[in-house]
Amino acid sequence: MFNTLCYLLLLLLHFSLSQGLTFPQDIAALKAFKASIKPTSIPSWSCLASWDFAAADPCALPRRTHFTCGIICSIDSTRVTQITLDPAGYSGQLTPLLSQLTQLTILDLSDNSFFGSIPSSISSLRSLQTLILKSNSFSGSIPDSVTTLKSLESLDISHNSLSGPLPKTLNSLSGLRRLDLSYNQLTGFLPKLPYNLLELALKGNSLSGYISKSSFDGLTQLEVVELSENSFTGTLGAWFFLLPALQQADLANNSLTRVEISKPSGGNSDLVAIDLGFNHIEGNAPTDFANYPQLSSLTLRYNRLRGAIPLEYSKKKSLQRLFLDGNFLIGRPPSEFFGGNTWVSGSLGNNCLVGCPGSSQLCSPSQKPYEVCKQAYGRKPMA
């Protein structure tokens, strides 16, 4: 009797898994999602073309002819847990009914042509860990409700047309590890950032104001910062380079006017690459960059730096790329840059240097005309 019961249960389980028992609310959400996409943007070979609700249950196994890709279901075939669409050029707006997929952990609609606003009802996706909407045409502001997604670990809405400020409650995303909102039309200041971030990318927007220490308080795990192509101004404080896990920082193409830098505590730092090119930074080239033991790439090109190239740069064996071109640096460049065993690539060109060997690639392009340098210093530049 017991063996017969077990056999019947196994048969029932097999039948359930093969037939699928997708929750009605999940099916309704999937139907609404597909219905919101223009039929003419669904190629016959695409994932969405295989979503035939009349022919099969979305979670039914095996998926040989219908629902062949685009969704993943829970192990008991009852709930949709992932939507990952192919980049087929789908065009349409996100339906608010997506909020019914309450077990969804991944939503990836990248590299398509979705448009319109991101519905605020997305906050109902309490299990969501990964939200990738990059390379579409979403517009409007980032809904504040996104910041209530406590399980979210990765958020990428880069390469869209989002506008307005960053949500003030962005730091509420306590589980967020990766944030990429690059190449939108976002404005305003940097709010306080989520303290568990590993990677921050906000390049290619219109963000402005100072880069404040308060925005980065508690970010002890932050490794990568990409804030280039914005409108940040003022002084970048020494605290920034002392972020304990920082490895790469790109702040090029802003309007920074000054950089403060101090030696890393105990001589320890993971900083490998820094790009501060194309700003309005004045003063001397910061000598203390040479005290960062792993720094291999330093870019300060096209700023307003004056004075001599720090000799410490030429003695730093870890430094492999150095771009100081487009400033008003004077004097003779350190001879160590031009020895037979030189290890540095980059450029010292378009400055006011003397004795920069024309045969060296480092000295390309040529230096500024003498009259330009004389005018910049108000006198004859020091040799």
User: In this predicted model, what pLDDT tens digit does every residue of 214-238 receive, in sequence order?
Assistant: 999 999 999 999 999 999 999 999 9
pLDDT at residue number 6: 46
Ranges of the chain with pLDDT below 50:
1-2, 4-18
DSSP 63-123: -SSSS-SSEEE-TTSSSEEEEE---S--EEE--GGGGG-TT--EEE--SSEEEEPPPGGGG
Eight-class DSSP state of 166: P
Output the CA–CA distances (angstroms, integers) from residue 145 to 54, 92, 310, 341, in the order listed.
34, 22, 49, 57
Output the CA–CA distances (angstroms, integers) from residue 194 to 178, 209, 219, 242, in the order listed.
10, 19, 8, 18
pLDDT tens across 263-309, in order? 998 889 999 999 999 999 999 999 999 999 999 999 999 999 999 99
Encoded tokens for 229: 């192509």
Encoded tokens for 292: 């960062």
The answer to whether the beta carbons of residues 190 and 209 sit under 8 Å apart is yes
pLDDT at residue number 2: 45
The answer to whether the beta carbons of residues 362 and 337 sit under 8 Å apart is yes
- β-pairing, 113-116 vs 71-73, is unpaired
pLDDT at residue number 16: 43
